[in-house]
Amino acid sequence: MGQVSADNFLAKAIDIPQLCEVINGIMERYSVFLGVNVVVVVINCLDEQCTTVIDNIKYEMRRFYPAIIDNDTLIKIEKFYNMRLFGGIFLPKIKTYESLLPAAHHVPVKEDDKLLILNLSHIGYDGNTKEFGSFVRHGHDSPTPACGAIKSCYDQILKGIKMPSDYDLRALTKYIKKIISIHNIKPKPLGHDLLEVTINLYNDQIPWLKQQLKKLAQKDEIDIIYMGGIEVDINKESDKDTHDKIVLMDKFIIQQNGDITDIS
Ligand SMILES: [Zn+2]
């Protein structure tokens, strides 16, 4: 899947309340209770915008817990294991299930324990120019790159500049180079090439991620529910603006015996 249509991509985008409906539906279906038998693992980018989106998801999820009355309860149900990776990408052959072992070990109840993983890469979208790869952040007058890490690595490849010396960025750059070659991605207007890079980066990590999560599920005897996709960062008119969108691309459960089933 090298070619992608920006219109199709945007058409699949849902907002945060809709995403929370999906998350809550899956939690009900698989008897996942926040603060009880689950650790929620968020794998996303280091960008502060991604932190904001996760905070907004947490806030929105509260409506499913009307009995929450105090901060102590909130802290209990909002416990997260946050893995910040450049681009939110679980790099094939670099990241392994071992980095998720602590999360699996921290589920409060050992009976019927589960990991719920939310994995989001991200891309900016400037609705005014219809361009992907940047958006206007709160307090800014002009757009700045998103994902900054993916975009800067991609731009360096296009310009033929030498690889970053930072280990993680270097690994991401190598992976992007591979994606460009496998999917024959060429420069395109309106950041459609960066959208192709981002979607394929996300998609191509999935077989590796599945394999690693399967090892974790079997080794730690824990069911793992995975939800993943791409966050679309939208221009901010104010700090109250929570109009960011999510394109959910994968939902599956891996059982302790290693069986993997897509969640419809
Ligand atoms: Zn980023």
**64-84: pLDDT as tens digits:** 988 877 777 787 778 789 999
How is residue 200 written in tokens?
């394929």
pLDDT at 1: 47
CA–CA gap between residue 124 and residue 190 (Å, rounded): 12
Q: What percent of the chain has pLDDT over 70?
A: 97
- b/e map of 155-190 (b: 16 or more CB within 10 Å)? ebbeeeeeebeeebbebbbbbbeebbeebebeeeee
In this predicted structure, which of 79-88, 218-227, 240-249 has the lowest mean pLDDT? 240-249
- State in Å: Cα 206 to ligand 1 middle: 18
For residue 3, what pLDDT is reported? 57
Domain presence at residue 221: yes
Q: Distance from the CA of 54 to the center of ligand 1, in angstroms?
A: 14
CATH number of the domain encompassing residue 81: 3.40.1050
Residue 232 covered by a domain: yes
Confirm whether 104 is domain-assigned. yes
The number of domains in the chain is 1
- Asked whether residue 259 is domain-assigned, the answer is no
Distance 132 CA to ligand 1 centre (A): 13
- Considering the domain boundaries, does residue 117 fall inside one? yes
User: How far, in Å, CA of 124 to CA of 133, rounded?
Assistant: 5
**Is residue 74 included in any domain, yes or no?**
yes
**Residue range(s) defining the domain that contains residue 28:** 6-248
Report every protein residue that has its C-beta within 5 angstroms of ion ligand 1: 45, 47, 147, 149
